[in-house]
Structure 1
Amino acid sequence: MRKIILAAAIATSALGLAACSEKTESETGEAVDAMAEDAEANADAAGDAIEGAADQTAAGVEAAADGAAETAEKTADEVGDAAANVAAEAEEAAE
């Protein structure tokens, strides 16, 4: 009788441990899935931030290029006007 009770107690303990292992395995799997989802969300957020920074940089470069082009055009016009004035003064002096 003692052996039967002992065997039943061992079997019950083994089933209890097996149930804990399944629960632990399930919780571990859920934790891994949650970490993977977090990593994916963080990667997406980082990608969005990088894309936003690239867009801002491109807009800044474009604005700087537009400003440089306007300045160059203005300078070219001023040089052309100054050259025309020098040529007019030279003609007047030659007369």
Structure 2
Amino acid sequence: MNARNALIALMMALGLTVAGCADEQGPAEEAGEQIDQSMEEAGDTMEEATDEIGGQAEEAGDEVEEETDY
């Protein structure tokens, strides 16, 4: 009886493995990928904005430094 239970468990695990490897994505997976892509794009936009602001702040600091040098 134990061998039979082990065989059943193995067949169930194999079936779940094959089902998990399906090429088609479900709606939840597609939604998750869209969210990931949106978050990545938002992060890139924020990075570009902070780089630009940082550059402007550095330029302003350089100008202040030049004006205050004796």
Task: Return 5+ residue gaps in structure 1 as ranges.
Answer: 1-32, 84-95
Q: Could you tell me which residue of structure 1 aligns to residue 52 of structure 2?
A: 63
Q: Which has the larger radius of gyration?
A: 1
Q: Could you tell me which residue of structure 2 aligns to residue 51 of structure 1?
A: 40
Greater share of helix: 1
CA distance in 1, matches of 2:28, 2:62: 51
Aligned-pair identity (%): 17
Residue type at the aligned position of 1:44: E
CA distance in 2, matches of 1:56, 1:63: 11
CA distance in 2, matches of 1:49, 1:37: 19
What is the alpha-carbon root mean square deviation over aligned residues?
Answer: 1.5
State the TM-score, normalizing by the size of structure 1.
0.47
Structure 1 position 46, deviation (Å): 0.2
State the TM-score, normalizing by the size of structure 2.
0.63
CA distance in 2, matches of 1:72, 1:43: 43
Deviating runs (4+, > 4 A) in structure 1?
A: none
Deviations 1:38-91 (A, max 9, x none): 0000000000000000000000111010000000001100111xx3xxxxxxxx
How many residue pairs get matched?
A: 47
